[in-house]
Amino acid sequence: MRSAYRVETVRAAEAELMARLPGGALMQRAAAGLAAACAGLLGRVSGARVVLLVGSGDNGGDALYAGARLARRGAGVSAVLLGSRAHQGGLAALTTAGGRVADDPFAVVPRADLVLDGITGIGGRGGLRPEAAAVARAARSSQAVVVAVDLPSGVDADTGRVAGEAVRADATVTFGTYKPGLLIDPAREYAGALRLVDIGLALPPVPDVEALQHADVARLLPVPAAESDKYRRGVVGVVAGSARYPGAAVLAVAGALRGGAGAVRYVGPAGEAVLAHYPETLVHGGPPGKAGRVQAWVIGPGLGDTPGVEEVLDSDVPVLVDADGLRPLDPAAVRARSAPTVLTPHAGEAAALLGVAREEVEAARLDAVRELAGRYGATVLLKGSTTLVAAPDADVPVRANPTGTPWLATAGSGDVLSGLAGSLLAAGLRPRDAASVAAYLHGLAARRASRSAPIAAHDVASALPGAWRDVTG
Ligand SMILES: NC(=O)C1=CN([C@@H]2O[C@H](COP(=O)(O)OP(=O)(O)OC[C@H]3O[C@@H](n4cnc5c(N)ncnc54)[C@H](OP(=O)(O)O)[C@@H]3O)[C@@H](O)[C@H]2O)[C@@H](O)CC1
Ligand SMILES: [K+]
């Protein structure tokens, strides 16, 4: 599990540790880890051209000390000073090691092998200032590997917001713990590959944000026991599709069949289309209440105006509401339920539920998902390139999904996801686990199916068993 803590918590842990260590020890730990990561990326340090972008604070100090270490190993290191001041100890260490201060950033950055971004870290506010922004752009358009120190400068550590310009890094070396912004878009995509350097911070047991990894997902996946039959493995009911959108029903069932439930019960007008693709589905043409027992419901994909949401919400089993099912959703009705509810909006649907503009949700995804989960008393999965899952209880960490790919932005892929998550719910996973495990497998399946080429939603569904094996294998 990757854990991320807000700046306030990081600062408190830093102060507590600094009080017990000699002055400067933490920065030396950070710089040593940073220099080692840069050496790894460079391959050969001796003779390499390294440019440090140095801001006013300790983030610049880290870059300067790391630069000094690389200079001692034979790299040619230049520092571009972009702040109102520069870390004096770091500057002295760099010059003593043979590094120099560059007068003209645009003379050194285009020729660099590696650019180290130490403009701002957790003390940065807002996007880059104009001078820093111009240098960051030059770094991006050069051939250099761009490595961010702690965070890409210009991104918000706590929320993942990017207000203005920010450094686009190939890799980010972060200290002590991940920060929420490193796991959440839009900031996440500025960070590149993440590397964590342990500097000995003692952090509280519960993080603010976390990201599952293969081993976590493997532990959560349902495994049928020898005595399991299809009913004991769970039956998921899917209320989806309409005369106009029969395909949504087929795709939701496709996801549900790969999610670990023992059987999928389809309820709605697209039974023929569903059976043509998946003869193993139990099809029911009447209302959900008459369809027979299920352990979880999925309602919404391609539903159009077909009624049924209220009836399904009246049931005493977990319910996942997606797409068209989200439109008529009343917070009081959801909060009054006796069993858990999972909502799976994309940014537009989340904006409609919150009564704000879509852009507002996209810029502040963490706030939006928490607000929705609190308002509805539900687990909320907010779709996006880093899908977020929030529990109704604000003290429970939000999960950020690390496996997403832009190729998943294709019609019908959300239908597969809701079927999959509903199936995991029926198989007994807790709502937050079902939603975050589904997002993880769905992203992985898309990557498997795509391998950098366009894919259709049914390709994602077909790749789910392979993704499952990747995780458990
Ligand atoms: N926590 C830990 O455990 C450890 C932390 N460590 C390191 O310390 C870092 C935090 O250092 P920090 O507190 O000095 O803040 P930091 O991010 O360097 O910048 C603050 C200064 O930048 C400026 N500035 C602000 N906004 C700006 C903008 N948009 N664009 C341009 N400039 C901007 C502003 O100064 P101004 O120029 O306004 O005078 C402000 O004062 C942390 O990220 C990690 O790298 C490690 O060494 C060891 C362990
Ligand atoms: K930085």
Does the pTM exceed 0.90? yes
Annotated ligand binding at 344? The verdict is no
Return residues with CB closer than 5 A to ligand 2 (ion). 117, 148-149, 153
Section 93-105 average pLDDT: 98
- Is any atom of ligand 1 closer than 6 Å to the C-beta of 66? no
Spatial strand order in the sheet of 76-81: 100-101, 76-81, 49-54, 114-118, 145-149, 171-175, 193-197
CA atoms within 13 A on the CB side of 463: 23
Contacts of 290 (CB under 8 A, 6+ apart): 284
Give the pLDDT band of residue 308 (cuts 50, 70, 90): confident
Annotated ligand binding at 117? The verdict is yes
pLDDT digits (tens, 9 = 90+) for 341-363: 999 999 999 999 999 999 999 99
- Please report which helix (H) or strand (E) contains residue 153, including its range: none
Q: Is the distance from CB of 2 to CB of 214 less than 8 angstroms?
A: no
pLDDT digits (tens, 9 = 90+) for 204-234: 999 999 999 999 999 999 988 888 888 888 9
Annotated ligand binding at 122? The verdict is yes
As a whole-number percent, the residues of the chain with pLDDT over 70 amount to 100
Asked whether the predicted pLDDT for residue 328 surpasses 80, the reply is no
Residue with tokens 């799976």: 344
Q: Is the distance from CB of 197 to CB of 172 less than 8 angstroms?
A: no
Section 255-260 average pLDDT: 96
Q: Whose CA is nearest to atom 13 of ligand 1?
A: 123
Residue-range domains of the chain with CATH: 2-210 (3.40.50.10260), 214-472 (3.40.1190.20)
Q: Which of 175, 197, 203 to mutate to test the pocket of ligand 1 (most atoms within 8 A of CB)?
A: 175
- Is any atom of ligand 1 closer than 6 Å to the C-beta of 120? yes
